[in-house]
Structure 1
Amino acid sequence: MTRLAPTLFGLLFLALWEGLVRLLDVPAYLVPGPLAIIAAFLDDPFGLLAALAATLAVTFTAMIAATTLGVALALAIAASPLARAAIQPWAVALQVTPIVAIAPLIIVWVGNPFAALVVCATIVAFFPVFSSTAAGLAAVAPEFLDLFRLHGASSGQILWLLRLPSALPFFLAGLRISGGLSLVGAVVAEFVAGSGGFATGLAYRLIEAGYRLQIPRMFAALVLLGIAGVTINATLGALERGLLARRG
């Protein structure tokens, strides 16, 4: 029953939404009902799905880039106090800088639209992986570290056999957050870019529908983004549970 609770709640919410819209005779250009949103999607399913695919391409590319960069820098600051002193302040500064403030500059500097969107989304998604992995690498119990050193373990052996296994739960938690932020960063960057064509993603379709007062189409795009976000989170959550279960 617990597993069915979200589905049942969602169906009840949609039924109430549709009922209230019809009962109060709310215009579709203000708040469309679920049936109007479905109809708007069915009017142009391939266009919206192609836009979603473009957004997801940016999202997954940024997630891979953010994960690679975050883990690499976390390993660097774990290995060297000098690297920590040099990298940590810049990573925090990058995290607290609003992406909407620097996205226009990135788009101009990079030139290639897809690469610029990936850079923006990577900046948004980078910090959770970096900070979580760094915390995991530093969370090794001192007694275990002393035991490894007592047996003459090298720095590489300590990293591979002790620090990395200790950091795995932290890394997976950061990756799960980063997955959602990659999508958020991609959408924000697409809003700022504001260029046309299928490859611009769902954010542009939202802007386009807003200018044309196609509110049901806007809601359809938002629903697709919501489904994509939930799917990414659920997939990474399942990966996290599976890896931790195997790890024991």
Structure 2
Amino acid sequence: MASTSITDNPALADVQAAPSAADLQARDDRIRRRESLLRIAVPTIVIAGLLLLWEVLVRVNNVPHYIIPAPSLILTTLVDNWDTLSGALWFTVKLTLLALVAAIVGGVLLAIAFALFKWVEIGLFPIAVILQVTPIIAIAPLILIYVSSTTAALLLCAWIVAFFPILSNTVIGLKSADSNLRDLFQLYRASPWQLFRHLLVPSALPYFMAGLKIAGGLSLIGAVVAEFTAGTAGRETGLASRILESSFRTEIPMMFAALLLVSLLGIVIFLVFAALSRAVLGHWHESEMKRER
């Protein structure tokens, strides 16, 4: 009786050629590492190329620095004036974070009240919408008139801008809990606290994190716009004041240096909250889970 080898039987050959779980995991790890590298390398190359093109065009065409400075001059100005700019940066950071914390606390508490008490939502939600749709640059002068402290007025302006995304997203999340799961909780006679803790909060968390990423950038925008409107000057002021002062003195490199710090601060805020969202949701929610390819 002739023996049958593995290579003579196509079915056995396919079984033999099938990759193991370790091989599949190694392949997925390689794919993820390559994607992570590309996500960093590609934007870096594009930005570096644009900056190099900017530098070359300014130097070749001998563009005066008071029209548009070269990136190298902006970096030099940033280093030379770091003592002044660092204080302004720290003031803007404090104002932005305080406004964001106030928006989180107020938005989440009010969203819970909206979700649990219908009449609270009916009475107060239109007011929140009015504050959101009214441009902050139109409200800021009034706030600066009625609030004696300039810092408190700036904080209030930034809070108004950052408040609504937290409120709106959290309310939607609290109301998005699966109705079948609600019925299941009622079937097992869950207490209101158990329903809130184990169903409503997990349902609202992805929406809250999305609102947080939006509110982080808006709080910075609100702080900068409010300071522009206030036109404040002095040591205890932020980056917007440095930009205004530089424009009055026609110090264009200084303006670009302050603007660079504002942009970098906004990028850092977004990256921090994006990483926080991955840490909170990455192990259980589809929006942040890594899908195998």
TM-score, with structure 2 as normaliser: 0.83
Moved more, 3-12 or 229-238: 3-12
Question: Which residue matches 1:187?
Answer: 224
Greater helix content = 1
Counterpart residue type for residue 193 of structure 1: A
Equivalent in 122, 136, 157 of residue 194 of structure 2: 157
Separation (CA, whole Å) in 2 of partners of 1:107 and 1:160: 41
Separation (CA, whole Å) in 1 of partners of 2:73 and 2:81: 13
Question: Which residue matches 2:125?
Answer: 88
Match of 2:225, SS state, is: helix
Question: Which residue matches 1:106?
Answer: 143
Give the 4+ runs in structure 1 shifted more than 4 A. Answer: none
Q: CA deviation at 1:110?
A: 1.8
Q: CA deviation at 1:234?
A: 0.1
2:60 is the alignment partner of 1:27: no
Q: CA deviation at 1:198?
A: 2.1
2:225 is the alignment partner of 1:176: no
Equivalent in 54, 58, 66 of residue 91 of structure 2: 54
The runs of 5 or more residues in structure 1 that have no matched partner are none
Question: Which residue matches 1:242?
Answer: 279
Separation (CA, whole Å) in 2 of partners of 1:110 and 1:154: 44
Counterpart residue type for residue 88 of structure 2: A
Please give the residue correspondences for 1:68-147 in structure 2 after superposition, counting only pairs within 5 Å: 68-147=105-184
- Identity across aligned pairs (percent)? 46
For the pair shown, the structure with the greater C-alpha radius of gyration is: 2
Equivalent in 45, 49, 52 of residue 82 of structure 2: 45
Match of 2:65, SS state, is: coil
Match of 2:56, SS state, is: helix
Match of 1:82, SS state, is: helix
Counterpart residue type for residue 149 of structure 1: Q
Match of 1:200, SS state, is: coil
Equivalent in 82, 90, 100 of residue 63 of structure 1: 100
Question: Which residue matches 1:217?
Answer: 254
Counterpart residue type for residue 151 of structure 2: F
Moved more, 154-163 or 123-132: 154-163
Q: CA deviation at 1:228?
A: 0.3
Provide the aligned length of Structure 1 versus Structure 2: 248
Separation (CA, whole Å) in 1 of partners of 2:212 and 2:79: 34
